[in-house]
Amino acid sequence: MAWIILIHAVVGFLIIGFGESLGRRAVYPALVPPLITLGWLATRLGAVVDGDTLSETISWVPQIGLAFDVRLDGFGALMVAIVSGIGVLVLWYAANYFPRRQYALGRLFGLLVLFSGAMVGLVVADNLLVLYGFWELTSICSFFLIGNRHSSAPARAASLQALLTTGLGALAMLWGFVLLGEAAGTYQISSLLADPPRGATVAPALVLVLLGAATKSAQYPFHFWLPGAMVAPTPISAYLHSATMVKAGVYLVARFSPAFVGVWIWRPAVVALGATTMLLGGLRALRQTDLKRLLAFGTVSQLGFMFVLFGMGTDASIAAGCVLLTAHAVFKATLFMGVGIIDHQIGTRDIALLPRLAQWRPLSAVLIISAASMAGVPLTFGFIAKEAGYEALLHSGTRFGGLVVAVVVTSSVLTFAYSARLVHGSLWAGGDPDAETAPADKEPSMAFLGPAVVLTGLTVLFGLVPGLLDGIASAATDALVHAVVGVHLAIWHGFNTALGLSAVTIAAGTVVFLVLGRIQPALALGSRIPDGGRIYRGILWGVNRGAGAVTGVVQSGSLPIYAGVVMLSTVAAPASALIGMPWDGIFEGADAPTPIVIASVTVVTILLAATVGAAVIRRRYAAALLLAGVGYSMAALFVVQGAPDLALTTVAVESLFTVLFVLVLRSLPERFEQTSPLVGRLFRLVISASVGAVVFLFALFAMSERLPSSTSQEMVARSLPDAHGRNVVNVILVDFRGFDTLGEITVLVAAAIGAVALARAVRRPGRPPDPPPEVATAPESPTGPFAAPDAAMEETDVRRLDGIHEGVEP
Partner 1 sequence: MMRRLVTLDQTVPIIFYVVMVGSLYMLFAGHNQPGGGFVGGLVAGAAVSLRYISGGIQEVRSTSRLKPWTVLGIGVIVAATAAVAPVLIGQPVLTSGYTVWEIPVLGDVALSSALVFDIGVYICVVGLVLMVFEAFGDRFEKER
- Exposure class string for 6-30: b at 16+ Cβ within 10 A, else e: ebbbebbeebbeebbebbbebbebb
DSSP string computed for 475-540: HHHHHHHTS-------S---S-HHHHHHHHHHHHHHHHHHTHHHHHHHHHGGGGS--HHHHHHHHH
Rounded to a whole number of angstroms, the distance between the first and last alpha carbons of the chain is: 46
Whole-angstrom distance, CA of residue 234 vs CA of residue 334:
11
State the nearest-atom distance from the C-beta of 604 to partner 1, in Å: 23
**Between 75 and 638, whose beta carbon lies closer to partner 1?**
638
**Between 251 and 736, whose beta carbon lies closer to partner 1?**
736
Smallest CA-to-CA distance from 307 within 350, 370, 250, 258 is with 250
Burial class (CB in 10 A: 0-12, 13-18, 19+), 426: buried
Whole-angstrom distance, CA of residue 317 vs CA of residue 324:
10
State the nearest-atom distance from the C-beta of 670 to partner 1, in Å: 14
Element at 72 (helix H, strand E): strand 66-72
Q: In this structure, which amino acid lies at residue 601?
A: V
**Between 457 and 725, whose beta carbon lies closer to partner 1?**
725
**Between 182 and 735, whose beta carbon lies closer to partner 1?**
735
**Between 735 and 780, whose beta carbon lies closer to partner 1?**
735
**Between 360 and 736, whose beta carbon lies closer to partner 1?**
736
State the nearest-atom distance from the C-beta of 712 to partner 1, in Å: 18
Rounded to 5°, angle at Cα 746 from 740 and 749? 145
State the nearest-atom distance from the C-beta of 356 to partner 1, in Å: 58
Give the list of residues 6+ apart from residue 201 with CB closer than 8 angstroms, or none: 179, 180, 182, 183
Rounded to 5°, angle at Cα 6 from 56 and 62? 45
**Between 606 and 723, whose beta carbon lies closer to partner 1?**
723
101 phi/psi in degrees, rounded to 5: -130, 135
CB contact at 8 A, 438 and 347? no
State the nearest-atom distance from the C-beta of 713 to partner 1, in Å: 20
* Residue 429: C-alpha distances to residues 375, 514, 575 (Å): 20, 15, 80
Whole-angstrom distance, CA of residue 763 vs CA of residue 242:
48
**Between 561 and 747, whose beta carbon lies closer to partner 1?**
747
**Between 525 and 663, whose beta carbon lies closer to partner 1?**
663
State the nearest-atom distance from the C-beta of 744 to partner 1, in Å: 9
State the nearest-atom distance from the C-beta of 739 to partner 1, in Å: 7
**Between 100 and 724, whose beta carbon lies closer to partner 1?**
724
Q: Where are the alpha helices (DSSP H) in 515-619?
A: 516-524, 532-554, 559-578, 595-616
State the nearest-atom distance from the C-beta of 635 to partner 1, in Å: 12
Q: Applying CB under 8 A, which residues contact partner 1?
A: 644-645, 648-649, 652-653, 655-656, 659-660, 663-664, 666-667, 723-727, 729-731, 733-735, 738-739, 741-742, 745-746, 748-749, 752-753, 755-756, 758-760, 763, 810
State the nearest-atom distance from the C-beta of 662 to partner 1, in Å: 9
State the nearest-atom distance from the C-beta of 691 to partner 1, in Å: 26
